[in-house]
Structure 1
Amino acid sequence: MAQTLEFFFDGEADAAVRGLWRRLSEAGVPGPARRRPHVMFAAAQSIPAATRKALREDLRLLSIPALWLSTLAAFDGTLVLTAVVDTELLAVHSAVHDVLAKRVKQPAAYYLPGSWVPHCTLAEGLEPAQMTTGFAALYPVGSIRASITEIVVVDTQTGEADVLRDLLEGT
């Protein structure tokens, strides 16, 4: 996907996830190629400027809940820490996708309502032996409370980030 909508964590949660990445690295399991711990709410080939503007307006009206990252899980060679799903989180996700509906090019089905599993990626592209090593290095993982500090559209090709809401700045 070329553009993603990512929710970034507060400093304490960011540091906790980076600590998990370090533990994986020390065990010989490669961490994710991406730069900041986050939960992805949407992905598409493109999220146009007009759609971003509409998202900015809607996101200002929403109360963004903290996430509880607590379940170590795996799918398709990817090791993740999943978030507890509650009605507040689903409401924000649904509101985001109400804005994106029919306004983005080639939305990724994995992130649509009803398919989405909110998670923070810990490692990707793992072989079965690496997955086993990764689980052993992290289990039991405990819970991480993650307050959201920024909501950003990221271009996965260039790394360019467009901040839609900065909760620390109040915008």
Structure 2
Amino acid sequence: MTGVALAICLLFDPDTDRAVRKLWSALEADGIRTLLTHTHRRHVPHLSYAVLRTFDEERVAAAVAALPGGPEVDLRFDSVCLFPRGRAALLAASTSALLNRQHAVADAVTRTGADLHWHYRPGRWVPHCSLTTGTGQELLATAARHAFDMLPLEARAVRAALIDSSTGRQLPLGSLP
């Protein structure tokens, strides 16, 4: 088992990726830390189905690979969410199809013995694309203003990967769970 976080992520089409990166850059220009400059600086725009605190990477990869592949995921981001500890995110609409897909991933990875972070447990999960990291409260309104300047964002997830959040290393998945 590993003590580093591993995420099962949906990754976006080039247009969506570019739009989120443009937003990250605008926030950074205003002194607001984003995933662009966070930790290893290899973060990519994404939506996480699950974040695991302890896991066996090979078992998790096999469990996710065994899930039936689905079509590309159309998402609509039209809200900004403020989480505790200065985290802001674009909030995606919680469609039943998206919730069902996330539930299947969460179930598959927990059956491997992995410890699923409680924010990603079905019924608690909030589908989002992270923007800020550790931002002081005085800057969150500025972050929200920047986000609302580009919303709504029609997005599409076109691929998936396991991502080691401590290094940014990606293990592409063969299908889209």
Q: TM-score, normalised by structure 1?
A: 0.88
Report if the CA contact (8 A) 1:71-1:83 is conserved.
yes
Note if 1:82 corresponds to 2:96: no
Q: Distance in 1 between matches of 2:136 and 2:116?
A: 28
2:121 corresponds, among 109, 112, 115, to 112
- Mind listing any 5+ residue stretches in structure 2 that lack a counterpart? none
Report if the CA contact (8 A) 1:65-1:88 is conserved.
no
Report the Cα offset of residue 16 of structure 1.
0.8
Any idea what the Cα deviations from partners look like across 1:26-84, whole Å, max 9, x if unmatched? Answer: 22212122521000110112243133112112142x33421111111211110100100
- When the two chains are superposed, the root-mean-square deviation of aligned CA atoms in Å is 1.8
Bigger shift: residues 83-92 or 144-153: 144-153
**Residues 103 and 126 (structure 1 numbering): CA distance in 2 closer, same or farther, change over 3 Å?**
same
Report the Cα offset of residue 154 of structure 1.
1.0
- Mind listing any 5+ residue stretches in structure 1 that lack a counterpart? none
Note if 1:138 corresponds to 2:147: yes
1:1-171 matches, cutoff 5 A:
1-32=4-35, 33=38, 35-44=43-52, 45-60=54-69, 62-76=70-84, 77-165=86-174
Q: Distance in 1 between matches of 2:48 and 2:94?
A: 14
**Residues 47 and 41 (structure 1 numbering): CA distance in 2 closer, same or farther, change over 3 Å?**
farther
Provide the aligned length of Structure 1 versus Structure 2.
166
- Which amino acid in structure 1 is aligned with residue 114 of structure 2? K
Q: Secondary structure at the match of 1:58?
A: coil
**Residues 140 and 158 (structure 1 numbering): CA distance in 2 closer, same or farther, change over 3 Å?**
closer
**Residues 121 and 72 (structure 1 numbering): CA distance in 2 closer, same or farther, change over 3 Å?**
same
Bigger shift: residues 98-107 or 148-157: 98-107
Q: Secondary structure at the match of 2:66?
A: helix
Any idea what the Cα deviations from partners look like across 1:74-112, whole Å, max 9, x if unmatched? Answer: 111101001001111011111112212231432101011
- Which amino acid in structure 2 is aligned with residue 149 of structure 1? V
Any idea what the Cα deviations from partners look like across 1:134-158, whole Å, max 9, x if unmatched? Answer: 1233334422122112211111223
Report if the CA contact (8 A) 1:3-1:47 is conserved.
no
- Which amino acid in structure 2 is aligned with residue 157 of structure 1? S
Bigger shift: residues 133-142 or 9-18: 133-142
Report percent identity of matched pairs: 26
